[in-house]
Amino acid sequence: MNDGKIAAKTCTALGAAGHTLESYPVHEVNLGSLRVSRALPVRGWRLIGPWCFLDRFGPLTFHDGTPMDVAPHPHIGLQTVTWLLDGEIVHDDSLGCEAIARPGGVNVMTAGKGIAHTEQTPAKNSGRLNGVQLWVALPEAHRHMDPAFESSVQVPAIEQPGAFIRVFAGSPGKAASPCRHYSEILGMDLRIHAREETEVNLNPRFEHAVLVLEGDCLMEGQSLEPALYYLGTHRSSVCFGSREGSRGLLIGGPPFPEAILMWWNFVARLPEEISRARGDWESHLRFGDVPSYPGQRLSAPSLIRFARPNPAS
């Protein structure tokens, strides 16, 4: 194997030394019949804290079929975090865990040394799909751990003047999201009330980013476009407002101290780790099966082909 030919991408922290305000356009990706907006990695393959991947899907309505149908596929070295605004997704994995993600709850899958899973719109559904999927890079001390799956049907909420906030990752103030992470992290869903303003406290050691999900959002008085806004570090708060009401995502964490290597559904450090994981998946080793899935599993792309991370997976 000529590892020099692996089309993996190195991602490093943006890690601004102070406040900044930079916007990075999201780009649209087709996932079968599902249209996805990819916000992370941003241009230059950068992470925000330990967050290395962010896909936005929906909002959409459907009358038949299952818009999300991701066949069995493997992951290493990351956690997936699924957060829904509407609709439902059923997760099945090679540990035998099955869980339905619904609005207000979070699903966190820790791939560690290897797991396989599927994500599907369940047969019995609301006809709506609207949410995000994020990936968290695991730090060196934990990236080879045994895989695990956790879910919470209702994450903590913070009610404050101008906003209703749900904390789906991390523990800002007294609100601790229940699922385990292995780096300091923040993941919040902000509902900004119409014609109101709200100030959100931030950890100045963290870098943060904001993505508007719905409605019109003002941040520090600036009207936000459909883009990922990077705030840098050294901020103790950020102020939001809205004319008609808005919903947005605020993510963050200390700048990730390690450069990671991303290829397809794998987060690693060395090209050899990626080629070994790919070989194990193709040889039906390491990752296990998801026997409940009725169809074929996904095949890994060629190592030398540029492979975007598997969207919404």
Least separation in angstroms between residue 94's CB and Mn ion is 12
Residue with smaller CB distance to Mn ion, 94 or 246: 94
Region 152-171 residues binding Mn ion, contact defined as CB under 5 A: none
Residue with smaller CB distance to Mn ion, 116 or 163: 116
Q: Which stretch binds Mn ion (CB under 5 A): 6-14, 58-66, 267-275, 305-313?
A: 305-313
Q: How far apart are CA 252 and CA 231, in angstroms?
A: 9
3-state secondary structure of 244: coil
Least separation in angstroms between residue 310's CB and Mn ion is 6
Residue with smaller CB distance to Mn ion, 94 or 177: 94
Task: Give the DSSP per-residue string, 80-138.
Answer: EEEEEEEE-EEEEETTS-EEEE-TT-EEEEE-TT-EEEEEE--SS--SEEEEEEEEEEP
Least separation in angstroms between residue 312's CB and Mn ion is 8
Residue with smaller CB distance to Mn ion, 177 or 313: 313
Integer-rounded Cα radius of gyration of the chain: 19
Size of the site for Mn ion (CB under 5 A): 1
List the one residue out of 206, 194, 199, 196 whose CA is nearest residue 169.
206
Structure-block tokens of residue 305: 């082909």
Q: How far apart are CA 196 and CA 183, in angstroms?
A: 33
Ranked by CB distance to Mn ion, the top (closest) residue is 313
Structure-block tokens of residue 190: 């902000």
List the one residue out of 28, 78, 46 whose CA is nearest residue 209.
46
Least separation in angstroms between residue 202's CB and Mn ion is 30
List the one residue out of 307, 283, 278, 306 whose CA is nearest residue 75.
278
Residue with smaller CB distance to Mn ion, 231 or 262: 262
Least separation in angstroms between residue 75's CB and Mn ion is 6
Residue of the chain from 107, 120, 151, 313 that contacts Mn ion (CB under 5 A): 313
Residue with smaller CB distance to Mn ion, 79 or 313: 313
Least separation in angstroms between residue 266's CB and Mn ion is 11
Residue with smaller CB distance to Mn ion, 47 or 81: 81
Binding mask 254-293 for Mn ion (x = CB under 5 A): ----------------------------------------
Q: How far apart are CA 270 and CA 286, in angstroms?
A: 18
Site for Mn ion, rule CB under 5 A: 313
